[in-house]
Amino acid sequence: MISHALRIVANELEQHLTGLGAGTGQVELANVGEVGSTGGPKRGTILLSVVNVTPERTLRNVSGNVRDDSTLRVSHQNPPVFLNLTVLVTATHTDYGDALLALSRAIAFFQYHDVFTPETVAPASLTAGAPINPADRLAEFKLIFSLASPSIEEVNHLWGTLGAKQFPFALYSVRMLEMRFAAASGESGLVTEVISTLVGR
């Protein structure tokens, strides 16, 4: 599901850059730390890399019970997990000026298109490069992008952890990806009537 979420975003960004005359194949999902290695992502692209995954703590108490009034049954599921992603947007162009240009275009894209839902993306973005297994695809989603502002020390730690030379980049916080396995763990009937009998002595 994380892969599908970022693939949708990458498809939208690719479409935006293509409209600006940048050509195709401008956006990849890849580990920026593998740039330059054998089989790693090619230079001259914008990479989307997940560098952290954290739970959304404000939504930890969501009920896992789903009520069906037509059958008067309740299915029991574990509550969904809502995730926040930290995504590194990196311009890997060999020419530094081109890298800054590509990064500027990506930042401008996320400035005006900061919320992604099935209604706000092109239908082709939902299917192009989507996972083959339906269980790995997103049905409903709302991804909210906001630009993060790490300190110089945090930037140093980040690139040191990635083991890569620093490229022009922007760091985004992405909220809230819902992770739910579509299977009930149990089922029971609804309480439809309460009968109280008073027995006198």
Structure confidence by residue, pLDDT tens digits, 88-122: 999 999 999 999 999 999 999 999 999 999 999 99
Q: Looking at the whole model, is its pTM more than 0.95?
A: no
Q: Cα–Cα distance between 55 and 151 in angstroms, integer?
A: 22
Residues 6+ apart with CB under 8 A from 67: 74, 190
Structure confidence by residue, pLDDT tens digits, 154-191: 999 999 999 888 999 999 999 877 766 554 444 555 45
Q: What is the DSSP letter of 95?
A: S
Using the structure block, give the residue that is written with the tokens 């692209």.
45
Using the structure block, give the residue that is written with the tokens 């069906």.
68
- Which helix H or strand E contains 162, and what residues bound it? helix 152-162
Structure confidence by residue, pLDDT tens digits, 148-158: 999 999 999 99
pLDDT at 64: 59
Encoded tokens for 64: 């896992």
Strand 46-55 with 65-68, pairing:
unpaired
> What is the SS3 assignment for 54-84?
EECHHHCCCCCEEEECCCCEEEECCCCEEEE
How far does CA 61 lie from the centroid of its chain? 21
